[in-house]
Amino acid sequence: MQPKEPTLTQMMRAPFFSSILSPLITGSLLASSITHHFHWGGFFLVVVMGLGLHAATNIYNDIYDTLQGTDRINRLRNEFSGGSGLIIQYPHLLPKMYRLAHLSLLVALLATAVLMLVVKRDLWIYLWVLYLLSAFFSKFYTAAPIKLASRGLGEFSVWFAFGPMAILISSISQNLGLHPLILTAMPITGISTLSILLMGQLIDYQADKDSGKWGVAVRLGSRSTTIIYLIVQLVLMLNVVLLSFLLKGFGLLLLISLFPYVQWLPKIGKILLSHHHQAEALTRAAGMNVKLHLRFSVLLALGMLAFKLLGKI
């Protein structure tokens, strides 16, 4: 009996779309709270754009991690790190994966073009710069000759794409540019996604090292990466507190997004500090970290929605 072919959602690694949906929803709600108008058309188009770019990123990562040998070397692949491994299991999927990545970029391109009809002309330059930069990151995070993830730039590109870039494009979809509150919110969601990457690098340390994919963990070691992980999570929490106080009044509702940190971060930190070099323990910590990321993302969006409905700027 032949194994069942992977679905499109599996090839796009759709369960990780929360990383892009969180900043798009949160940024759109924040921007509309400032403008006092929620543009549904702009929101729909920016979500299509974001999902297309994220899908392309996931697919390209699987393609080039396979072609460059990382996925073949990695024996510790799991649902939290190491890529999907689909092309290794189903080599005939490679052409289809390429087509799907190209189609995802095309869908995002069309959404960007239509967004021009609903955003102010003076915001068009930001719109296209963000699309082109996102498309660049989606392919060249792993693809030669640039290979950002192998040059110590992968962490920055992940934070920048899922934080400042995603928040800004969602703001633009609501006809708002670089407002001070948008600038304050920019780092938050990118740090949350960066935490997933750092945890994955700890698990994939040996495979990344052997294949030349030298990120923070390989360059600095597992203990230093653990410290960096804990620092960036602390920065995220402080950023949320700062934004909630700047919003004033019902802005304090954003603090509900930090409840998962109270529940999960001490447990994760304890495992990392004691077992940062042990794959089995790291996999448990990664599972907790994904739960932390998902619950934080949902609660951040709900907190911003509650502020929009109840608060005034």
Answer yes or no: is 1 within a domain.
Answer: no
Answer yes or no: is 122 within a domain.
Answer: yes
CA distance 94 to 265: 38
Supply the range of the domain harboring residue 182. 8-310
What average pLDDT does range 107-134 have in this prediction? 94
The predicted structure's pLDDT at residue 82: 52
63-95 pLDDT per residue, tens: 887 777 665 555 555 555 555 667 777 778 888
The predicted structure's pLDDT at residue 5: 77
Buried b (16+ CB within 10 A) or exposed e, 275-309: bbeebebbbebbbbbbebbbbbbbbbbbbbebbbe
H helices of the chain, in order, are 8-12, 18-35, 40-67, 70-73, 86-89, 94-115, 124-140, 154-160, 166-173, 180-203, 205-211, 216-220, 222-247, 259-275, 279-310
Look up the pTM and report it. Answer: 0.90
Q: Between helices 279-310 and 18-35, what is the axis angle to 10°? A: 20
Answer yes or no: is 51 within a domain.
Answer: yes
Answer yes or no: is 64 within a domain.
Answer: yes
Answer yes or no: is 3 within a domain.
Answer: no
Share of the chain above pLDDT 90, in %: 54
107 neighbors 45 (Cβ within 8 angstroms): no
Q: What letter does residue 85 receive in the DSSP assignment?
A: -
Buried b (16+ CB within 10 A) or exposed e, 47-72: bbbbbbbbbbbbbbbbbbbbebebbe
Question: Domain count of the chain?
Answer: 1
Answer yes or no: is 58 within a domain.
Answer: yes
Answer yes or no: is 132 within a domain.
Answer: yes
CA distance 310 to 296: 21
- Measured CA to CA in angstroms, residue 213 lies from 27, 32, 126, 131 at distances of 32, 40, 31, 26
**Which helix (H) or strand (E) segment is 92 a member of?**
none
Q: The CATH number of the domain where 259 resides is what?
A: 1.10.600
The first and second tokens of residue 46, run together, are 């920016």
Answer yes or no: is 47 within a domain.
Answer: yes
